[in-house]
């Protein structure tokens, strides 16, 4: 039994979230994004390269990250011991949530997954934009071989302009097999939820919390492993845009150092192996 972390980086960039800009102005800069992803890889060396980068896809840039230069980086991540996942921002930014629109979600998830598989990159992980998820999407993930979901932020409840975007109230604080009826409850689907690490009043969301909060969460999770005598698998969350700043990179490095004191970083494939050995 042990505490296992998966270091996840959502492949978003600042301009995407500037809702007052035109879609053309919100496009990512190729040179800038390539440099930041390379920094992700260098930082992940401190945790034995166990990096899970979630590739962004959205109406603004449905296939930007399928360009040859990025494909080379995704292959390098896998060769080093990490992996890539699917990160769908299928919404009208800051207006209406579209995560329960099955037609749009199926097209978005399947298109990116199939494109990566065609290049011999086989993702097994998914995270919704804004940590959003709807149980109706579980069959879509299953069809695409995406057996791990990282959308859960336990307790999160987000509404924008009256539209429900994300609801994780009552969700478990460690990994569980999702229910087809309610994504917040354990069930018998093939998709396993890996929640954001939260415990002891702390959270492993690097951008939005303090190093003290990260320490509290890691310490409390390690204690829970001993008390409950079982494996706990959670995610540590960062974003690509954070790697543009020296100070934010330093904070990420320190956060990973703190986490290493209490647990082990694994890849998503290694986590799935651990889970498959358990009785769930």
Query: 158: which 2 tokens?
Result: 């987000």
Three-class secondary structure assignment of the chain: CCEEEEEEEECCCHHHHCCCCCCCCCCCCHHHHHHHHHHHHHHHHHHCCCEEEEEEECCCCCCHHHCHHHHHHHHHHHHHCCEEEEEECCCCCCCCCCCCCHHHHHHHHHHHHHHHHHCCCCCCEEEEHHHCCCHHHHHHHHHCCCCEECCCCCCCEEEECCEEEEECCCCCCCCEEECCCCCCCECCCCCEECCECEECCEECECCCCCHHHHHHHHHHHHHHHHHHCCCEEEEEEEEHHHHHCHHHHHHHHHHHHHHHCCCEECCHHHHHHHHHCCCC
pTM value is 0.94
Q: CA neighbours within 13 Å on the CB side: how many for 130?
A: 26
What angle is formed at CA 189 by the lines to CA 151 and CA 195, rounded to 5 degrees? 25
Confidence (pLDDT) at 105: 87
> 3-276 falls under which CATH superfamily?
Glycoside hydrolase/deacetylase (3.20.20.370)
Confidence (pLDDT) at 7: 98
Walk along the chain (280 residues) and give the pLDDT tens digit of each residue.
Answer: 899 999 999 999 988 888 777 777 888 999 999 999 999 999 999 999 999 999 999 888 889 999 999 999 999 999 999 999 999 987 655 444 456 678 888 999 999 999 999 999 999 999 999 898 989 999 999 999 999 999 999 999 988 777 778 899 999 999 999 999 999 999 999 999 999 999 999 999 999 999 999 999 999 999 999 999 999 999 999 999 999 999 999 999 999 999 999 999 999 999 999 999 876 6
**What is the Cα 244 distance to its own chain's centre?**
19
Confidence (pLDDT) at 99: 60
For the chain, give every domain's residue range: 3-276
Confidence (pLDDT) at 233: 98
CB of 263 within 8 A of CB of 47? no
Query: 175: which 2 tokens?
Result: 């990994």
């Amino acid at each position: 039994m042990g505490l296992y972390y998966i270091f996840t980086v959502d492949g978003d960039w600042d301009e995407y979230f500037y809702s007052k800009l035109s879609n053309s102005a919100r496009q990512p800069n190729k040179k800038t994004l390539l440099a930041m992803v390379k920094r992700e890889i260098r930082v992940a060396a401190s945790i034995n390269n166990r990096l899970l980068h979630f590739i962004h896809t959205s109406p603004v840039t449905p296939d930007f990250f399928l360009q040859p230069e990025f494909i080379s980086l995704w292959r390098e991540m896998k060769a080093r011991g990490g992996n890539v996942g699917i990160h769908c921002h299928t919404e009208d930014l800051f207006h209406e949530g579209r995560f329960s629109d099955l037609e749009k979600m199926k097209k978005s998830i399947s298109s990116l997954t199939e494109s990566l598989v065609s290049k011999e990159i086989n993702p097994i992980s998914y995270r919704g934009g804004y940590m959003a998820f709807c149980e109706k999407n579980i069959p879509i993930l299953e069809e695409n071989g995406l057996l791990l979901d990282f959308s859960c932020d336990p307790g999160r409840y987000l509404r924008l302009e009256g539209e429900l975007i994300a609801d994780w109230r009552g969700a478990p604080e460690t990994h569980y097999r999702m229910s087809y009826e309610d994504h917040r409850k354990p069930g018998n689907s093939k998709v396993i939820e890996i929640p954001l690490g939260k415990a002891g009043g702390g959270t492993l969301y690097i951008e939005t919390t303090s190093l003290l909060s990260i320490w509290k969460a890691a310490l409390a999770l390690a204690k829970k492993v001993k008390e409950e005598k079982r494996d706990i698998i959670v995610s540590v969350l960062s974003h690509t845009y954070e790697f543009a700043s020296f100070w934010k990179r330093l904070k990420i490095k320190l956060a990973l150092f703190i986490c290493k004191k209490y647990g082990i970083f694994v890849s998503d494939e290694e986590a799935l192996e651990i889970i498959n050995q358990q009785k769930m």
